[in-house]
Amino acid sequence: MKILRTAGSAQKITSRLRLNNKTIGFVPTMGYLHEGHLSLIKTARKKAEIVLISIFINPLQFSPREDLAKYPRDFKRDEKLCKVAGVDYIFYPDVKEMYPKDYSTYVKIENITNRLEGEIRPRHFIGVATIVLKLFNIVQPHLAVFGQKDAQQICIIKKMVDDLNVNTKIIVCPTVREQDGLAMSSRNVYLTKQQRKDAPYLFKVLEYAKRKILAENYNRDIDFLKGQMNKLIKSRPTVTKIDYISFNDSRTLDEIKTLKNIKNKEILISLAVRFSNVRLIDNIVIKS
């Protein structure tokens, strides 16, 4: 396994690999790897001859009030996990490498970035789209693997790839969860003991909504269902705020306002909840 620190060195190697007809699978991460990341690497390993991951905590994704400085970091640990997982290359640049002095080019996707996470974190997806496109240009992957937990991010990246004719296939893997249902996240390490007990309730509430929607005799509207979900989440003592509970078309992210005439639709139910300074997101997709 080799560690690449510059865009030039990564481009040189991946260009040579492509000339040798090697299939490159790519997993972009911000480090502090967990089983969710390792499952993405495993998928890339199955589908590609060469696996490259990036570890880069992207400052453009964080607002001034967010946890950039506190975001967990442990490259030595990540390096060991990558070796065991069979990673061939780690692209591990610093901020100056990715955003040199006078950097002024950004990627903005319209419409689908203005809702859900985008409404709460206005410039977040400009940061996401910019870094992902830069990484695709550097790594030149045939395929890139992402996790379903970041559902809106996946929609945005797919839209960018389609609109800008990026020659990379996007593969989406199911959310990896702890035994109690909590979606794996690098931010879970911030949870207190009591918050950690309450956090799995988010997935239980999503499953509750799924059961209700798929029940043949359920005739309540979405506002009522949202209200029930809101009450259930707020019943957890360490929950401090619900940023949103939302029902959307899983492809377009258009808001779904009624449960009538939803046959043959994929419904994304997503939520974002704060446990004091820890903000967690989760979602499920229902095929109606």
Catalytic residue among 34, 37, 124, 142: 37
Q: Annotated catalytic, 124?
A: no
Q: How does strand 50-55 pair with strand 24-29?
A: parallel
241's tokens: 């705020």
- Three-state secondary-structure class, residue 131: helix
Cα separation, 132 vs 161, whole angstroms: 10
Cα separation, 21 vs 32, whole angstroms: 32
Amino acid at 235: S
Q: How does strand 50-55 pair with strand 89-91?
A: parallel
Q: In angstroms, what CA-CA distances link 254 with 23, 61, 102?
A: 35, 23, 37
Q: Is 33 exposed, middle or buried (0-12, 13-18, 19+ CB in 10 A)?
A: buried
Contacts 24+ apart (CB under 8 A), 65-71: 66/121, 67/187, 67/277, 70/190, 71/30, 71/32, 71/186
252's tokens: 């377009």
Instruction: Please report the beta strands in 12-80, taking only residues with DSSP state E, as ranges in sequence order.
Output: 24-29, 50-55
Closest by CA position to 35, among listed 186, 144, 143: 186
Q: Could you tell me if 277 and 247 are in contact, meaning their C-beta atoms sit under 8 angstroms apart?
A: no
Q: Give me the count of residues in the chain.
A: 288
Give the active site residues: 37
